[in-house]
Amino acid sequence: MNLTLKVWRQSGPKDSGQFETHLIEEVSEDSSFLEMMDQLNEQLLENGIEPIAFDHDCREGICGMCSLTINGFAHGPEDSTTTCQLHMRKFNDGDIITIEPFRARAFPVVRDLVVDRSSFDKIIQAGGFISARTGSAPDGNAIPIPKEDADKAMDAAACIGCGACVASCKNASAMLFTSAKAGHLNLLPQGQAEKDARVLNMVKTMDESGFGNCRNYGECSAACPKDISLDYIAKLNRDHAKAKIKNLFS
């Protein structure tokens, strides 16, 4: 198939940036979107043009690096799919495809389609862990955990931290990401000791990092390639309110 690509180019964080239009021919419908981007960069290099910078790593929908906004949708038009898992058969011959970086104040553009998501790292550093001595792995049955709690914790842990939730939210809120990362620990016995401090510190860091407020529009969950539920946001709000009340009387 032959395509017209309108790609965002930006040399650095302080550059205003602009769209460039490129024509690409003989794209296989079986190739992934990132493979199509590789083909475009090969074409640019042959013509003496600087290749387009974009994030990628595992290309298996696990790492969360492939953060592209495609035709206005975070990760593209297919539900529950990362950019690297999106195949070109989802598009038609002759289509015009607009490709942009994730847009959010807390995700400044580094170059072209690459954004700085270190704000997510700060949220994790604020509480996305448990303080426990390392050593040999404990017996899996040493601490009985109800299946319902284990399933919910695993669902929350599926978050890959790609940032699609932020890019799709009108307020660029990181509540879905933060609630997933706090929720999977708060649901397990190992996370109970630091539960209150965890939610207070993670929410505080989230706010300080420049993310907007949650309005429960639901775009975040709809855009999430791992289908993280809005229920985790509700749980985080409850846990946060309880922790603040406890702090008042402690």
Q: What is the pLDDT of residue 82?
A: 97
Closest CA to 119 of 166, 55, 82, 58: 166
pLDDT exceeding 70 applies to what percent of the chain? 99
Give the pLDDT mean for 134-160.
Answer: 88
Q: What is the pLDDT of residue 132?
A: 79
Predicted confidence (pLDDT) at residue 156 exceeds the cutoff of 80: yes
Q: What is the pLDDT of residue 126?
A: 97
In CATH, the architecture of 117-248 is Orthogonal Bundle (1.10)
* Sequence-separated (6 or more) residues with CB below 8 Å from residue 76: 33, 68, 70, 83, 86, 90
Predicted confidence (pLDDT) at residue 137 exceeds the cutoff of 90: no
The CA distance from 141 to 146, in Å, is 11
Q: What residue spans define the domains of the chain?
A: 3-111, 117-248
In CATH, the architecture of 3-111 is Roll (3.10)
Rounded to 5 degrees, φ, ψ at 244 are -70, -40
**Who wins on pLDDT, 120 or 14?**
120
Q: What is the pLDDT of residue 181?
A: 98
pTM of the model: 0.94
Mean pLDDT, all residues of the chain: 95
pLDDT tens digit sequence for 51-108 = 999 999 999 999 999 999 999 999 999 999 999 999 999 999 999 999 999 999 999 9
pLDDT tens digit sequence for 207-225 = 999 999 999 999 999 999 9
